[in-house]
Homo-oligomer: A and B are copies of this chain.
Amino acid sequence: MTKTGAGRFFEDYAVGEVIRHAVPRTLKEGERALYHALYPARHALYSSDPFAQACGLPSSPLDDLVTFHMVFGKTVPDVSLNAVANLGYAEGRWITPLWPGDTITASSEVIGVKQNSNGKSGVVWVRTTGRNQHAETLLSYVRWVMVRKRNPAAPAPAPVIPELAGALAPGDLAIPRGLDFTGYDFELAGEPHRWADYDIGERIDHVDGVTVEEAEHMMATRLWQNTAKVHFDLTFRPEGRLVYGGHVISMARALSFNGLANAQMIVGLNGGAHANPCFAGDTIKAWSEVLDKARTPAPGVGALRMRLVATRDGKVGHTHGEDGKYLPGVLLDLDYWVLVPV
């Protein structure tokens, strides 16, 4: 019974190594429809071909988070099968939209390792890149995870801690070829608020909520071929299946339509924390805060740096307790750049 893989442990990662992840995936119209069934997604550019074409694109791309989930899912068997915790994200850049019919492959370069002082685990940093069938980069991002050691007696590697940007500079954002918001139809998109209407520091309560069901988060997680046991197997985790953190990201992003209907294309992921685990029965709500604003060279296209917070208690504004830790009602704290008509 040695045909199944046990996954990598901390001592299996060497800085500089490039891991080619398995099982390429072709995504088409079926995945688009499922995304709309699993999340209350309404951003017009991802809902309508003619709307996307009026914005200068050849057709409506698949949701930017589909790219993220799919690439992330590919990395699970190699990066997070023995992970104790998903610690953070940085420098996430969406370079090319994902079109129906595209095939995603993914690879990760190990860019940092640091053994923990307890000697039982360590932190591994990887820069993961997802590519389409033309070898164009769809998305790249840095993720770091805490991974168990197979053998606590194994010697600690020389620590390498990568220098990571706290946030992408506006000039680092890739604007999809052809994107043009000068003829943007705000009425058809659902809200009148343009880039100029958002102020740094402004908070938006997205009001709506969705109570999570087991069947839904499992279908989503499987769709991205993320097969981490904790999401599926109640015998492995009798206290309750853990909802894939990306399910919370997509749910919160979709809920943010109500107040951010014109925040169309996600182009940067500055950071993110899965503050607390989410389980079926939790009701996900979301609020946002405008962190920064920038113009882009594309016609009519501005960028907003947004903080997106998902909660299970519906509270808006407070995320941390006096001890500096996340409050138990907070599920997600995400920092991203999004393109908005000016």
Kindly identify which residue among B4, B50, B193, B260 contacts A24, using a CB–CB cutoff of 8 Å.
B50
Known: A40-B232, A50-B24, A219-B216. A208 touches B227 (CB 8 A): yes
A25 to B49, CA, bound (A): 8
Residues of B within 8 A of A109 (CB): none
A292 to B195, CA, bound (A): 56
Q: Is the interface of A mostly helix, strand, loop or mixed?
A: mixed
A105 to B187, CA, bound (A): 12
> Could you pull out 19 A-B pairs where Cβ atoms are within 8 angstroms?
A4-B205, A4-B258, A20-B187, A20-B188, A23-B189, A25-B47, A28-B32, A29-B29, A33-B34, A36-B222, A38-B219, A38-B222, A40-B227, A41-B222, A42-B227, A49-B103, A209-B233, A210-B232, A235-B283
Kindly identify which residue among B133, B223, B235, B258 contacts A314, using a CB–CB cutoff of 8 Å.
B235
CB of A30 closer than 8 Å to a CB of B: yes
User: Which 4 pairs of residues, A with B, have the shortest CB-CB distance?
Assistant: A30-B33, A22-B190, A215-B215, A24-B48
Kindly identify which residue among B28, B50, B209 contacts A232, using a CB–CB cutoff of 8 Å.
B209
Whether B40 and A225, one on each chain, are in contact in the complex, defined by CB atoms closer than 8 angstroms, is: yes
Residues of B within 8 A of A229 (CB): 208-209
Closest to A206 in B: B4
Whether A49 and B37, one on each chain, are in contact in the complex, defined by CB atoms closer than 8 angstroms, is: no
Identify the interface centre among A5, A22, A77, A210: most chain B CB within 10 Å of its CB. Answer: A22
Whether B209 and A235, one on each chain, are in contact in the complex, defined by CB atoms closer than 8 angstroms, is: yes
A51 to B23, CA, bound (A): 9
Closest to A281 in B: B234
Whether B223 and A211, one on each chain, are in contact in the complex, defined by CB atoms closer than 8 angstroms, is: no
Whether A36 and B225, one on each chain, are in contact in the complex, defined by CB atoms closer than 8 angstroms, is: yes
